[in-house]
Amino acid sequence: MSQTLPNLFSPITLGELKIRNRVLSTGHMTGMVSAGVPTSAFGDYHEARAAGGCGLIITESAAVHTTSNAYNIQLTNPAVIDFLGDAASRVKRHGCAIFGQLGHGGRETHSGTDGSRPVAFGPSAIATERFHVMPREMSKAMIGDIAGAFGAAAEAYEKAGYQGLEIMASHGLLLAQFLNPDANLREDEYGGSRENRLRFVREVIASIRSAVGRRLVLGIRISADELNARGLETPEVLQICQDLDGDGSLDYFDVCGGSMSGLGGSVHVVPPMNYEPGYLAPMSARIRRAVSAAVFVAGRINDVRSAEAILAQGHADMCGMTRAQICDPDMAGKAEADQLDDIRACIGCNQACIGHMQEGFAISCIQRPETGREARFGTRQAAATPMKVLVAGGGPAGMKAAAVAAERGHQVILCEAGAELGGQVTLARQLPGRDEFGGLVTNLAAEMERHGVEVRLKAKLDRTTVEREQPGAVIIATGSAPHTPDHLLLDGGHVVHASKVLEGANVGTRVVIADWRCDWVGLGLAERLARDGCFVRLAVNGYMPGQSIQQYTRDRWIGELHKLGVEITPFARLVGGDDTATYFEHTTSGEPIVFEDVDTLVTATGTQTDLGLEHELADWAGEVWIAGDAVAPRTCEEAVLEGLKVGAALGGGELAPADQPLRQKGAL
């Protein structure tokens, strides 16, 4: 047992099942489901976390009925059982317990299998704000049918070898809709009083217990507060939990926050880095004091020390650390061995985990692109012929390439022209609420150190250095430089690139930000300057600020800008400016948009690739690989992924054609 984390690594018993520790991977969509059936990657992904020491894995919500969301695991398909069974056996052989989630979206059902919108059902015909759905009120016959479907789904999970079940009554989904007096306006025995609003949930629990008895552990996931207009609030949820606990049928309550029914509540489904780690623990503590069953809690618990404190203070019996294990599947094992400094910490960016899932792709992690690609990159292939490798650039691409190459046995020297590692991350972390983003650099630097990479700062790599060092390969990861379009019509005026603002450039008190990127740069600069006392107008060349970043990160930020009085103009293409005004045109109508009385035009217009070293080495005889913004300006996610691919491919590493990174002239 860990000497520093005794509570986190003590066992817990639920029903008749003993779980080895208090580390939980909560139910979350992986994007590893096709046509309602888990793919082979689903088993690879969950097995990696089980092998890494997790105590309990709850796999993603499965639709118990054909009227629920199309993208869930569809338990109504018999083929699903074999795939779930494979995942269950792979997880259990590592000593980890596995539960399955049972759910129904209710009025949050918004996607069909053919692109059309299905009919959504709810307790009442009350519209949902986020997906703009008006549901059809469920009949009593349908209520009974769906309650029975929960029992049938429980039998399917038992047949697949699962050890427990979790009912989804959280995040504004169907059961939560019945519990919410603002979403449930029924006048029959399923609406009105709390006793009536609980009736459907109790029928679901009874259906499951009738199907599987006490053979499987049974819990319920519930939002302690939906944190949304017209959502369930903590006092009501507390009483609901007490009532259900008094029935004696549940083994645990899994406490979370938020609701999918509105944009404000949705942010708390996967809270971004702007929220404090473990911020929902005080809510779970209230529920734990009120019930006799075990209580779990989730909500940006990204550090094992935070989890230990939550348990030690009695706020919960188990901690959901889902993104923490997406970022480092070996987190629990490292923590139990008191190797805390070796843990790669999640930074809550939401970019490749929930961001990928919402785009219809398998989840991953910008810091650890091996996640979701376990079969291709989960195991390092030792270099057949180790060689000296020079890496040009100490940003995310160069750092990851260096770490992976060194881990494979190559002698790696990383040369960074500047005085510190990190590249553009050093600027990004200066945006409000983004300091934690710097953890990406800290984690990659630790990887390099563990594998013996030599780092040379203030050492720009050029052709002369390459010829002197005589490496077998050079990796170009020199990044990109600030770019301002040369077609702008500028007649005087103060124009400053976004990167220079972060470096401390003076911008006066009235600023227009030309946000071509539509990412965190425009949002972050607007917040920073507004908090500094500037009057800020954010002109976005897109539908909205943050259009290209994950929705929960974006939506919270837009709310902050509204509170700060930032004026937002979408569909705005920058044309130019003069001493007192800036000029844009509407991107669809072409009509002019003019901002008067401007001190500074800030251009968030992206960066441009530095091709200098690539040209210098065009005729050099060794291997030359290129990664990150040196290929084309994108984000940290692509930089780290390409660093992984280059490090894995060096010296004849075997990769699938689709995974081959960019290699310069004379290769491949």
Beta strands 480-482; 252-256: pairing state: unpaired
For residue range 597-645, what is the model confidence (pLDDT) as tens digits?
Answer: 999 999 999 999 989 999 999 999 999 999 999 999 999 999 999 999 9
pLDDT tens column, 101-118:
999 999 998 888 788 999
Question: How far is CA 537 from its chain centroid?
Answer: 29
Q: Which amino acid does the sequence have at 181?
A: P
Q: Which residues contact 359 (CB under 8 A, 6 or more apart)?
A: none
Q: Residues 6 or more apart from 556 whose CB is under 8 A from it?
A: 267, 272, 274
Indicate the residue type of 399.
M
Alpha-carbon distance 175 to 248, whole Å? Answer: 19
Averaged pLDDT for residues 466-480: 97
At residue 267, does pLDDT exceed 90?
Answer: yes
Percent of the chain with pLDDT over 70: 99
pLDDT at site 70: 64
Residue 22 CB partners (closer than 8 Å, separation 6+): 7, 8, 9, 10, 12, 55, 307, 311, 317, 318, 319
Residue 455 has pLDDT above 60, yes or no: yes
Q: Answer whether residue 665 shows pLDDT above 70.
A: no
pLDDT at 668 over 50: no
Task: Name beta bridge partners: 9.
Answer: none
Ranges assigned E (strand) in 507-564: 510-515, 535-540
The order of strands in the sheet holding 454-457 is: 454-457, 411-416, 388-392, 473-476, 623-626, 662-663
* pLDDT at res. 141: 98
Q: Got the DSSP string for 279-314? A: TTHHHHHHHHHH-SSEEEE-SS---HHHHHHHHHTT
Which residue, chain included where needed, has tokens 């706020």?
315
Q: Is 202 exposed, middle or buried (0-12, 13-18, 19+ CB in 10 A)?
A: middle
User: Angle of helix 234-247 relative to helix 199-212, nearest 10 degrees?
Assistant: 40
Q: What is the DSSP letter of 545?
A: T
CA 270 centroid distance within chain: 7
* DSSP bridge pairs for 265: none
State pLDDT tens for residues 547-596.
999 999 999 999 999 999 999 999 999 999 999 999 999 999 999 999 99
Q: Of 259-263, 345-349, 424-428, 524-528, which range is least confident? A: 424-428
Domains of the chain: 12-375 (3.20.20.70), 384-481+609-663 (3.40.50.720), 489-605 (3.50.50.60)
Query: pTM to 2 decimals?
Result: 0.96
Please, are residues 258 and 228 in contact by the beta-carbon 8 Å criterion? yes
Reply yes or no on whether the pLDDT at 172 is more than 70: yes
Q: Is the pLDDT of residue 667 over 80?
A: no
Task: Decide the pairing of beta strands 510-515 and 454-457.
Answer: unpaired
- Rounded alpha-carbon distances, angstroms, from residue 267 to 20, 263, 350, 555: 32, 7, 11, 7
Residue 354 to residue 624: CA distance in whole angstroms: 34
Read off the pLDDT of residues 7-26 as tens digits, 9 standing for 90 and up.
Answer: 999 999 999 999 999 999 99
What pLDDT does residue 390 have?
98
Percent of the chain surpassing pLDDT 90? 91
Q: Looking at residue 78, what is its pLDDT? A: 86
SS3 358: helix
Whole-angstrom CA distances from 516 to 92, 230, 425, 464 are: 49, 36, 19, 38
Please report the beta strands in 321-428, taking only residues with DSSP state E, as ranges in sequence order.
388-392, 411-416
